[in-house]
Each structure stands twice: as structure tokens, then as C-alpha cells.
Amino acid sequence: MLDWTDRFYRYFARLISQHTWLTTEMVTTGALLHGDRERFLAFDPSELPLALQLGGSDPDALARCARLAEARGFSEVNLNVGCPSERVQSGAFGACLMAEPLLVGQCLAAMRDAVSLPVTVKHRIGIDRVEDYAFLRDFVGEVHRRSACTVFIVHARNAILKGLSPKQNREIPPLKYPYVHRLKRDFPQLEILINGGIRDWPSIESQLDHVDGVMIGREAYQNPWILAEADRRLFGDAHPLPRRRDVIDAMQPFLRRQIDDGVPLKHMTRHLLGLYQGMPGARRWRRTLSDPVMMRDNDPGVVLRLADEIEESRRRAA
């Protein structure tokens, strides 16, 4: 979710769901230790619970980054062993690390020794043409044995390390949910979460018959309103469902603060484009918020007025 689940999107998502666990975009250890640290570690307290997702393969560097996360107040540190990007592979981390379970175990153990936060790992079911379930089982078993990590988030597709783009890697390798279900049966003591191609509540609830949790990625970004029912369905919180217009209203003070700090409005409104996904007015909403002319004055009232107009047109059509 590079460039997607930044702090602006996460603040927006938290207004829709109060309890869903949020995760940052992947941050490399090099970027965090030697780059703009504030950019990657900044978050609003309302975003909690929040996991910092790290990319790296040096145990010492990962431990240092985990300590930074704990000092900043993150709820969890996650190691990404699932990203198939060739750019990531050139740094010897991401999905290519699935070929090195010993190193992954060492990385996670170093992170666990450095902090009291939960340390988790996200990975694929295999790499390249390795298709058999035994590879996944042995990877998880070895990583758990060497690190005592107990939470595994599994994207139920192989990662093709050469020849496919990251987008194609999310679409072309077939989903194999039964592999993840079997993993939970083989490791009942571990917390196994599933990821990949899950786009609606019947699918989410069906998966929860087999695993401990579900991670939603692109769907939660492209159709963020899928999060609206999470508090009631998963967390037993019966508070009234929010309305889209109320979420935009609640965003206004945040948008104004960020604009005062020099953040262009368009950098934030791009994360709101999916709010009316699949509903009347969705095209107008996306077109207006993507229009540089409409965004050039950095007036967040534009977003609120547009929401009012769309809601009014929906009422008249009902």
C-alpha cells in the first residue's frame, strides 16, 4: 500500500471505523533511519490502534526501527515479507525473503527482543513456481521456531519475483484460500490472518470460519465504506453507523489544520475518491475532487459543499 495508506487516509478511515486495526504504508529501514523520519512516524492519536509496517532484512536495523515505533506510540510493528516489487527485491527484502526463513526468523527475533510491542509478519503463500503447501507450512514453522512470532498475515497468492508488476502480482497468481485455512489447522496456536481478493462482508465472515482475522487492502481504499460495518459486525460496538456526509464534516478541522501546516488539499482529497463508490453521484464526486481547478484554492469547504449537493440529489432521487 505504498503511497496509499498514509496518515491522511488513515485519519479518514478512522472516522468510518473506530476499532479496525490500521497499518501504515511499508517503510524501509533505510528511509526511517536515514530519511525524513517525521514523515513516516507522524500520526494522529485517533488512528490507534496502528501498526508500523517495515521493509528490511538487517536484524539490527529492524530492531532500531522497532524501538522508534515503540517510542512514538505505535500499537504493533509488522515485517513485510510479501511485497513483490523488483525495487524492493533489489534491497534484498520483501517477498524474496520467503526463500530465507532463517533470516526472517532472525529479523523478527531481533525486533521482539528490542520492544514490548507485538511483532508480526506479512507474507505470501509461496514464490515463483513453488506451488506446494509444504513450502508455506515449513516457512511458517521455521520462522515461528526461530523468532517465537505468533501472528502471521498471509496473502493467499504466490509472489512472482520476475516478469510481473506489483499490480499483476495482485491479480494473476491464483488465490489459494485453502492453503491459509490449512495453515491455521496445522498451527492452531498461532494467530493466522488472511489477505487477498476479499471485497465484501459475506466473504469476510466466511473467512472468519477458518482463520483468526482478515486484512483488507485495496478494497478498503477504493471502497472505504466497507469499513463502516466493522465495529458492529466484528467488535460488538452497536453505535449508530456513520453517514458519509458526517464523515466529511468531521474531516473539516483536520483538513484545515493540515492546510495551515502547508499540505495541499489535493494531497488529502485523493484519499476520499472512493467514498461514494457504487452510488449515485460517485462519478461527480471523483471528478470534482480530482479537478486541479477546484482544489487550487485549498478550501476544504469545497469538499463539504460537494457532499451536501450529492446527498441532496440522492434524497430527491429516492
Q: Is the pLDDT of residue 91 over 80?
A: no
Domain 244-317 - what CATH class? Answer: mainly alpha
pLDDT at 178: 98
Give 145: exposed, middle or buried? Use CB within 10 Å, 0-12, 13-18, 19+.
exposed
CATH 3.20.20.70 domain range(s) in the chain: 7-235
Active site residue 96: no
CATH domain 7-235 topology: TIM Barrel (3.20.20)
**Which residues, other chains included, contact 61 with Cβ-Cβ below 8 Å and sequence gap of 6+?**
29, 30, 33
CB 22 within 8 A of CB 49: yes
In this prediction, residues 212-240 reach a mean pLDDT of 95
- CATH 1.20.120 domain range(s) in the chain: 244-317
Any bridge partners for residue 79, and if so which? 54, 121
pLDDT at residue 32 tops 60: yes
- The percentage of the chain sitting over the pLDDT mark of 90, rounded to a whole number, equals 84
Selecting among 65, 83, 96, 107, the annotated active-site residue is: 83
pTM score: 0.94
Reported as a single tens digit per residue, the pLDDT across 230-253 is 999 999 998 888 899 999 999 999
Tell me the per-residue pLDDT of 94-119, one tens digit each, with 9 for 90 and over.
889 999 999 999 999 999 999 999 99
Closest CA to 160 of 178, 173, 144: 173
> Which pLDDT belongs to residue 11?
98
Distance (Å, rounded) from C-alpha 219 to C-alpha 274?
Answer: 10
